């Protein structure tokens, strides 16, 4: 079973990755209007079992312009991808039922070639190598840096 999250009740004026109010002034151009940002297009499958992380990452992704589908574990990821492909997968490595490495191996074994980035708090080089060997293009460290996430997504989903 997977969860499609369409909305959020988190306030708009807080940078949830850094837990502080947004400085809206620094995002304005010389005429006082918000600068246009590069928009992202596509669907991101977020595989994350922690509900708080789901909400925070979901909010960042939606503000960037992508559609978000949330999977609660690796079994949900595999079930979802067997029915509908996403354009990009953010895969938590440590999830119940089927972990991120195992889910990635399953997807690659079935011929799915969408970009998969691991989400991990791991610092052990062997564990990181295991993620990459399973088929992840790269990894993002937890706690997640919003700018690093957007930079990676721009490589795969960005358009002007």
Model confidence pLDDT, tens digit, residues 42-98: 999 999 999 999 999 999 999 999 999 999 999 999 999 999 989 999 999 999 999
Mean pLDDT for the chain overall: 82
End-to-end CA distance of the chain: 34
With beta carbons less than 8 A apart as the criterion, state whether 9 and 33 touch.
no
> Which is more confidently placed, 15 or 54?
54
> Which is more confidently placed, 117 or 14?
117
The SS3 call for residue 151 is helix
Domains of the chain: 41-159 (3.40.50.2300)
Helical spans, DSSP H, in 6-97: 51-64, 74-83
CB proximity list for 150: less than 8 A, separation 6 or greater: 40, 60, 64
């Amino acid at each position: 079973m997977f969860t499609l999250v369409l909305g959020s009740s988190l306030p708009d004026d807080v940078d949830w990755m850094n837990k502080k109010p947004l400085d809206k002034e620094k995002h304005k151009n010389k005429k006082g209007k918000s600068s246009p940002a590069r928009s992202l297009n596509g669907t991101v499958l977020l595989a994350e079992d922690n509900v708080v992380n789901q909400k925070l990452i979901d909010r960042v992704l939606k503000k960037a312009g992508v559609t978000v589908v949330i999977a609660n574990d690796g079994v949900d990821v595999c079930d979802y991808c067997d029915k509908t492909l996403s354009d990009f997968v953010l895969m938590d490595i440590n999830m119940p039922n089927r972990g991120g490495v195992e889910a990635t191996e399953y997807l690659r074994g079935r011929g799915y070639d969408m970009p998969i980035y691991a989400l991990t708090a791991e610092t052990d080089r062997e564990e990181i190598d295991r993620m990459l060997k399973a088929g992840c293009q790269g990894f993002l460290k937890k706690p997640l840096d919003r700018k690093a996430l957007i930079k990676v997504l721009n490589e795969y989903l960005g358009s002007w």
